[in-house]
Amino acid sequence: MHKLVELAKKTVEEFIRTGKEIPPPKEFVPEMTAKAGVFVSLKKKGNLRGCIGTFMPYTENVACEIIKNAISAATHDSRFDPVGEDELNDLAYSVDVLSPPEKVSDISELDPKKYGVIVVHGSRKGLLLPDLEGVDSVEEQLRIAKMKAWINPDEKVEIFRFMVSRYR
């Protein structure tokens, strides 16, 4: 298990058991030192159990971003009840570290296996990570990202793409 994933797992387990946030590790692996957006995903028996993240960094480094987002994924994903202590042994974790988003001028610049997308309409933003099971077309990727942001399918949006380094 990669150190970024170990950090997410340790964070969730400690917070669910004690209600306390762990401090950042004393020794960082190189991937922890950058400033980047990070998504933490939890799966239980192959099904999504929580996924929360930031597309731009809000903390001083990836390690701190993982700690904040791992707690949120386990306790604040509105699609799910908070994770219970009895579920901890059944969880699988993944951590996606995002590249800075870049604006896209044409959907031909997108590829749902390679790039995640951010759609923006006014103050509403929707994000979808790349290389997700069942998302095989640009149109499907954009449809889901719009739906997540409560943007109507026919509304014009600004589109941004990003890549991820995925750790499991």
**CATH code assigned at 125:** 3.30.1490.150
Give the model confidence (pLDDT) of 64-87 as tens digits.
999 999 999 999 999 999 999 999
Owning domain of residue 150:
102-163
Q: Distance of CA 26 to CAs 7, 63, 64, Å?
A: 12, 11, 12
111, 80: one domain: no
Read off the pLDDT band of 61 (50, 70, 90): very high
What is the overall mean pLDDT for the chain?
A: 97
Residues 6 or more apart from 145 whose CB is under 8 A from it?
A: 117, 118, 119, 126, 127, 128
**What whole-number percentage of the chain has pLDDT above 70?**
100
Q: Where are the alpha helices (DSSP H) in the chain?
A: 3-18, 62-75, 138-148
pLDDT tens, 146-162? 999 999 999 999 999 99
Instruction: For residues 77 and 72, give the distance between their C-alpha atoms in angstroms, rounded to a whole number.
Output: 7
* Domain endpoint, select from 76, 98, 120: 98
Coil/strand/helix, residue 7: helix
Q: Which residues contact residue 69 at a Cβ distance below 8 angstroms, ignoring those fewer than 6 apart?
A: 38, 39, 40, 52, 53, 54
Q: Are 37 and 54 in contact (CB under 8 A)?
A: yes
For residue 85, the 8-state DSSP code is G
Q: Which of 77, 98, 119 is the last residue of a domain?
A: 98
Find the CATH number of the domain harbouring 66: 3.30.700.20
Confidence of residue 17 (pLDDT cuts 50, 70, 90): very high
Same-domain status, 152 and 70: no
**How far, in Å, CA of 32 to CA of 83, rounded?**
25
Model-wide pTM > 0.85: yes
Task: Please check whether residues 35 and 70 belong to one and the same domain.
Answer: yes
Same domain, 93 and 14: yes
Same domain membership, residue 74 and residue 115: no
84 and 124 both lie in a single domain: no
Give domain status of residue 168, yes or no.
no
Q: Is residue 143 part of a domain?
A: yes
**How many other β-carbons are positioned within 10 Å of the β-carbon of residue 141?**
25
Residue range 120-144: average pLDDT?
A: 96
Domain match, 25 and 93 both: yes
